């Protein structure tokens, strides 16, 4: 049986439009019910805030609620284990982030292999970190800080949010590359009051939590950890300008249980990348200190594998153990 040309052209045009749109047209197949996004950190954390922003956009465009659930504990391992055990149907997602890559080496007895047991969905982007020192420290540049630290081994205290945290790992990478001996001081609560008071002298900290103190002159920014200088601190150099090859940021994205249908992942990836291309979403992420960085599922998977290997070397070399 033949199809007349006019009907065929209408069908072809409709199919092309369906493929091009990541919005409601794609929702004919998926999703047909609410989608849970499990966050392994408390409300107010970077992955939580960015995840909620993307979840709201997805809810509006795909026609079903995307619901954020915070399941903190064990440095995000509880949330990862829960998602990995969930049905591979696209209705339970993980707001994955740098800690998942770190934990693969940091913890010896995990019940799962993050890279093996998850399917990469999409990358949101990354949060910049900045090297800050207390103004009383006699160093205004990275070379001056390195010189001072070498002349005072074991006398410069480096604050972090805990052993194995991004702040700790980024600092250990710096120590190894710069050849300095900084004393790591892990905090269970906020390290910022002690940093402002000069009880600890340096931190490799998220820009979002430091920018106001830097602008007010309460802390001195020596460098950013990203590959490029940042618009928020245009006069602050990168660490890589002094230590070639140094680059670190706190990335985040979404993953699903392994064996989740490829078409479901493709639908989510198209929608999330479309959200990142939305000027309103991009502007809001910029306000939060997140640089959008969309990737295909395959590229995101390769990126996570590279990050896992990169930080595994630092963890092993520094003999870092979880608290």
N-term to C-term CA, the chain: 70
Q: How confident is the model at residue 112 (pLDDT cuts 50, 70, 90)?
A: very high
Burial annotation 153-171 (CB, 10 A radius, 16+ → b, else e): eeebbbbbbbebbbbbbbb
Global pTM reads 0.87
7-20: pLDDT as tens digits: 333 333 333 333 44
CATH code that applies to domain 129-241 = 3.40.190.10
At residue 288, the pLDDT reads 85
pLDDT tens digit sequence for 46-88: 899 999 999 999 999 999 999 999 999 999 999 999 999 999 9
Higher pLDDT, 45 or 218: 218
Strand partners, 34: none
Q: What is the pLDDT of residue 99?
A: 96
pLDDT in tens, 246-282: 999 999 999 999 999 999 999 999 999 999 999 999 9
Domain borders along the chain are: 31-126+250-318, 129-241
Angle at 31 between CA 8 and CA 17, to 5 degrees: 25
Residues 6+ apart with CB under 8 A from 189: none
The CATH code for residues 31-126+250-318 is 3.40.190.150
Say whether 129-241 and 31-126+250-318 share the same fold: yes
The model's confidence at residue 289, banded by pLDDT at 50, 70 and 90, is: confident
What number is the average pLDDT over the span 197-225?
Answer: 96
């Amino acid at each position: 049986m033949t199809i007349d040309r006019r009907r065929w052209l209408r069908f072809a045009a409709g199919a092309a439009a369906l493929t091009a749109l990541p919005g409601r047209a794609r929702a004919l197949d998926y999703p047909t019910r609410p989608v849970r996004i499990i966050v392994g950190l408390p409300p107010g954390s970077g992955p939580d805030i960015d995840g909620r922003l993307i979840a709201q956009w997805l809810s509006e465009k795909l026609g079903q609620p995307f619901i954020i659930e915070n399941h903190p504990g064990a440095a995000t391992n509880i949330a990862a284990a829960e998602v990995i055990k969930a049905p591979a149907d696209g209705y339970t997602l993980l707001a994955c982030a740098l800690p998942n890559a770190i934990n693969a080496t940091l913890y010896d007895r995990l019940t799962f292999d993050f890279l093996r047991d998850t399917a990469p969905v999409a990358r949101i982007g990354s949060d910049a970190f900045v090297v800050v020192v207390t103004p009383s420290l006699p160093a205004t540049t990275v070379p001056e800080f390195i010189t001072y630290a070498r002349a005072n081994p074991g006398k410069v205290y480096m604050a972090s949010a805990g052993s194995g945290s991004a702040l700790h790992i980024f600092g250990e990478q710096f120590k190894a590359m710069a050849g300095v001996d900084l004393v790591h001081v892990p905090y269970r609560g906020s390290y910022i009051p002690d940093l402002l008071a000069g009880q600890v002298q340096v931190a490799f900290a998220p820009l979002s939590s430091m920018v106001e103190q830097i602008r007010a002159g309460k802390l001195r920014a020596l460098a950013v950890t990203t590959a490029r200088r940042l618009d928020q601190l245009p006069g602050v150099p990168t660490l890589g300008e002094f230590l070639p090859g140094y680059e670190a940021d706190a990335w985040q994205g979404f993953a699903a249980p392994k064996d989740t249908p490829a078409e479901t992942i493709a639908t989510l990836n198209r929608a999330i990348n479309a959200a990142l291309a939305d000027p309103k979403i991009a502007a809001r992420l910029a306000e939060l200190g997140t640089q959008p960085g969309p990737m295909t599922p395959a590229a995101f998977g390769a990126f996570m594998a590279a990050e896992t290997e990169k930080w595994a070397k630092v963890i092993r070399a520094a003999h870092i153990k979880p608290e």
